[in-house]
Amino acid sequence: AGAETVRRAVELDVASRFQESLVCYQEGIDLLLQVVKATKDEAKKHRYRQKISEYMTRAEDIKKHVEKEKRDGKYHKQIRIEENATGFGYEKLFLEYLTEIVSEVWVEDPYIRHIHQASRYSLYNFLRFCEMLVKGPCKVKTIHLLTSYDEGSGRSQQISGLEEIQQSLRNYGVTLNIEFSSSIHDREIRFNNGWMIKIGRGLDYFKKPQGRFSIGYCDFDLRPCHETTVDVFHTKHTEKM
């Protein structure tokens, strides 16, 4: 398993998918260290240690490269979510970027609307996103939401739902600022530690559950997804964008 993970790390490394390769290098190194502990043949131990040393050096080089890209505002990671893929709950996408210093979040999504809108569950999705923020490890104090009004009869329900989320967040010491725009088209999420995430479908990339008591209704990691692309950037100028 360790060798296979390292092979995958090398493939990703060659393809310049550095962030993913770094994760695989780290996992592969941990697995190989376990092999070394269980190996009694000294010659094999020596070979394993040599390889581990090489992989650790490469992992450190990649880590420095990624950190430089972050400092230069050039970091870019892309995740492709396939049609009907599972395992892409909000924690999977966002948690690694929600460091302890995150206190302010900006959400721009034109479709945070009425829960009964043509198979969309956008208000629930936004609520689920807020729940993730409240659970930490970050200490979010302010969430800024920019969305558009529901164009149909669901406007009053949309506003009522957002106000209910706003009040509930207040009980956790979090302020939700809500603004509406008729010209908003982009979908992006920004954190005040410099991370910006753009999702092709916004927060609404989950498929409608088959029923209220079907697997994936409550646990988003088990919910099938629509095909979409997630782009992650790091910039020192998030607040100005």
Tens digits of per-residue pLDDT, 165-202? 999 999 999 999 999 998 888 899 999 988 999 999 99
Please indicate, yes or no, whether residues 121 and 193 belong to a single structural domain of this protein: yes
When divided into structural domains, the chain yields a total of: 2
* pTM (2 d.p.): 0.70
| 151/168: higher pLDDT | 168
pLDDT digits (tens, 9 = 90+) for 63-108: 888 777 776 666 788 889 999 999 999 999 998 889 888 999 999 9
Asked if residue 85 and residue 47 are part of one domain, the reply reads: no
Residue with tokens 């009425």: 114
Q: Which residues of 21-34 are buried (b: 16+ CB within 10 A; e: fewer)?
A: bbbbbbbbbeebee
pLDDT-derived band at 127 (thresholds 50, 70, 90) equals: very high
Q: Whole domain around residue 58: which residue ranges?
A: 1-72
pLDDT on residue 241: 40
The confidence score (pLDDT) of residue 126 equals 94
Residue 171 lies in a domain: yes
Residue type, 190: R
SS3 226: coil
52 belongs to a structural domain = yes
